[in-house]
């Protein structure tokens, strides 16, 4: 059994749910008193917050969506620059950050001093679980300080006790210079930036396994959970651990991360945010059981600045475990895609990231795949789904054979037919800081 940062991580999940059930009425009362947005919504929904005392009753409350947030911030009152769900005066805000804006106009989130303490507590649990020790030197590779994975991350890492080197935001050459001048134990950045550096640094004449980095922690989208990608990072960097984490600024910056078994991310928001798994189509709750799939929904339990209620994250996950030898008792998940990226093939839900993961295991193909959607509103497919896959420049296999194997592998593993087109690696731009697109709408 491994070490945990806080003993609540070993409490039974049912005990955690009971604790959340005790806290939910207080948060609902706070929303009813301080959030103009939820005051209006409770009236529209005919919800009497004083009558909600159980999780089952709580689950009858409608969801809040990203579009609700954007509408809130489209033309906000002067005294509420973060929107009508801003529940404290602006002078009480301690930090304002934003989303990356990769799925639409950026949204902004506020944190009070109390909110920051909650975030730091949860993120310290997450980073500790992911293998970051208080005596580590952490090379922090993200350069976007305003986003969730920027300033909040290196604040929490610093509170954990780590020596944080905020080296992101400049060229690969500059980052490499920092990693050689200031030898670090861990590199934390987005998954695709890890992969970008894996491709780019050897081009500069350096061998990755000659660097002092032995721990790679990534986030920002699905990727490290793919065995091919994880193995590539282990091999190229000579790493001792390769783990992923996940969170969101709407709720808590990082609240999921992998332990030493690297078979799914544990939840670390116990006592600070309630998490649900729902069927995206029906909205019904799905139990956290091994093999269950659904969209993650969150409710902060003590957020003051910009609190949300039953917020649909858009992250579609599969439960990989409910008990772990590491001693943690929270569910473990693998994020397998974005609910809004889902396409439908002959009535079956398909995630582009799942297609990418299958293609990456085909000999002669690399793990950079895009699903090509011919029109913006195209969701349903009866004919094979068009994809672009990257031909491995070192393969001696015939392109037609690689394409045939891609078709067979996707059909066998996902029960879906695709129409692959192989392209050269130079035709696929791999973003430095954000997970590469896996769906392209024409």
**For residues 120 and 156, is the Cβ–Cβ distance under 8 A?**
yes
Q: How far apart are CA 296 and CA 36, in angstroms?
A: 25
The pLDDT, as a whole number, for residue 432 is 43
SS3 1: coil
Q: What is the CATH number of the domain that holds 352?
A: 3.30.300.30
Q: Are 253 and 331 contained in the same domain?
A: yes
**For residues 217 and 130, is the Cβ–Cβ distance under 8 A?**
yes
Beta-carbon count within 10 A of 414 CB: 17
Q: Are 297 and 401 contained in the same domain?
A: no
Q: Are 93 and 228 contained in the same domain?
A: yes
Q: pLDDT digits over 125-150, tens only?
A: 999 999 999 999 999 988 767 888 88
Q: Are 104 and 142 contained in the same domain?
A: yes
Q: How far apart are CA 407 and CA 201, in angstroms?
A: 33
Q: How far apart are CA 355 and CA 367, in angstroms?
A: 10
Angle at which helix 191-200 crosses helix 172-181, to 10 degrees, equals: 90
Long-range contact set of residues 39-46: C-beta below 8 Å, sequence gap at least 24:
40/84
Q: Are 358 and 271 contained in the same domain?
A: no
In degrees and rounded to multiples of 5, residue 26 shows phi and psi of -65, -40
In degrees and rounded to multiples of 5, residue 198 shows phi and psi of -60, -35
Mean pLDDT by 10 residues, the chain (442 residues): 88 97 97 97 96 96 92 92 96 90 73 97 98 96 79 93 91 92 94 86 91 90 78 94 94 96 96 96 95 96 97 92 95 84 72 80 83 66 86 88 91 86 72 47 48
The pLDDT, as a whole number, for residue 57 is 97
List Cβ neighbours of 396 (8 Å cut-off, separation of 6 or more): none
Q: Are 232 and 274 contained in the same domain?
A: yes
Q: Are 146 and 185 contained in the same domain?
A: yes
Q: How far apart are CA 224 and CA 246, in angstroms?
A: 11
The pLDDT, as a whole number, for residue 435 is 43
Q: What is the CATH number of the domain that holds 69?
A: 3.40.50.12780
Q: How far apart are CA 120 and CA 418, in angstroms?
A: 44
Instruction: For 311-362, give the DSSP string.
Output: EEEEEEEEEEESS-TTS--S-EEEEEEEGGG-EEETTEEE-HHHHHHHHTTS
Q: Which residue is listed with tokens 């002078």? A: 91
- In total, how many domains does the chain have? 2
Q: Are 384 and 256 contained in the same domain?
A: no
Q: Are 394 and 258 contained in the same domain?
A: no
Q: Are 116 and 4 contained in the same domain?
A: yes
List Cβ neighbours of 278 (8 Å cut-off, separation of 6 or more): 284, 285, 286, 294, 295, 297, 312
Q: Which two tokens stand for residue 172?
A: 């690969």
Closest to 221 in 3D by CA, of 186, 250, 195: 195
Q: How far apart are CA 417 and CA 412, in angstroms?
A: 9
Q: Are 329 and 381 contained in the same domain?
A: no
Beta-carbon count within 10 A of 246 CB: 25
- Domain boundary among the residues 336, 352, 380 is at 336
- Domain boundary among the residues 336, 360, 380 is at 336
Q: Are 330 and 250 contained in the same domain?
A: yes
- Domain boundary among the residues 311, 336, 361 is at 336
The pLDDT, as a whole number, for residue 429 is 55
**Model pTM above 0.85:** no
The pLDDT, as a whole number, for residue 163 is 97
The pLDDT, as a whole number, for residue 102 is 52
The pLDDT, as a whole number, for residue 107 is 87
**For residues 351 and 421, is the Cβ–Cβ distance under 8 A?**
no
The pLDDT, as a whole number, for residue 427 is 67
- Torsion (CA) 157, 158, 164, 166 in degrees, nearest 10: 80
Domain carrying residue 112: 1-336
Beta-carbon count within 10 A of 268 CB: 31
E-state strands within 132-190:
137-140, 163-166, 186-190
């Amino acid at each position: 059994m491994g070490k945990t940062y806080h003993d609540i991580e070993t409490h039974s999940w049912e005990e955690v749910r009971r604790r959340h059930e005790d806290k939910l009425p207080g948060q609902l009362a706070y929303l009813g008193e301080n959030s103009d947005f939820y005051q209006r919504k409770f009236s529209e929904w005919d919800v009497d917050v004083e009558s909600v005392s159980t999780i089952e009753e709580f689950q009858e409350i409608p969801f809040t969506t990203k579009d609700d947030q954007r509408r809130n911030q489209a033309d906000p009152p002067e005294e509420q620059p973060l929107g009508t769900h801003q529940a404290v005066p602006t002078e009480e805000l301690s930090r304002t950050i934003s989303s990356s804006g990769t799925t639409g106009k950026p949204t902004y989130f506020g944190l009070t001093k109390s909110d920051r303490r909650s975030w730091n507590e949860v993120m310290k649990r997450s980073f500790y679980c992911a293998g970051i020790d208080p005596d580590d030197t952490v090379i922090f590779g993200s350069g976007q300080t305003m986003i969730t994975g920027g300033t909040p991350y290196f604040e929490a890492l610093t509170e954990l006790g780590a020596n944080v080197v905020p080296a992101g935001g400049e060229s690969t050459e500059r980052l490499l210079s920092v990693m050689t001048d200031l030898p670090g134990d861990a590199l934390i950045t987005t998954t695709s930036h890890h992969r970008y550096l894996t491709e780019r640094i050897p081009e500069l004449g350096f061998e990755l396994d000659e660097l002092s980095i032995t721990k790679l922690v990534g986030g920002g989208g699905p990727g490290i959970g793919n065995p091919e990608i994880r193995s590539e990072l282990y091999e190229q960097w000579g790493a001792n651990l390769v783990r992923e984490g996940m969170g969101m600024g709407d709720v808590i910056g990082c609240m999921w991360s992998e332990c030493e078994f690297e078979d799914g991310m544990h939840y670390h928001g116990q006592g600070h945010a309630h998490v649900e798994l729902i069927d995206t189509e029906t909205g019904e709750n799905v139990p956290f059981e091994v093999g269950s799939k659904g969209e993650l929904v969150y409710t902060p339990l003590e957020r003051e600045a910009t609190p949300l209620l039953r917020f649909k994250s858009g992250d579609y996950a599969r439960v990989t475990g409910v008990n772990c030898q590491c001693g943690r008792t929270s569910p473990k998940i693998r994020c397998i895609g974005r609910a809004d990226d889902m396409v439908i093939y002959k009535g079956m839900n398909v995630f582009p990231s799942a297609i990418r993961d299958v293609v990456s295991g085909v000999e002669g193909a690399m793990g950079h795949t895009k699903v090509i959607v011919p029109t913006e509103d195209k969701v349903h497919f009866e004919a094979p789904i068009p994809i672009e896959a990257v031909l491995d420049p070192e393969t001696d296999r015939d392109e037609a054979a690689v394409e045939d194997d891609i078709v067979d592998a996707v059909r066998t593993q996902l029960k879906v037919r695709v129409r692959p087109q192989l392209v050269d690696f130079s035709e696929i731009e791999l973003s430095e800081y954000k997970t590469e697109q896996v769906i392209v709408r024409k």
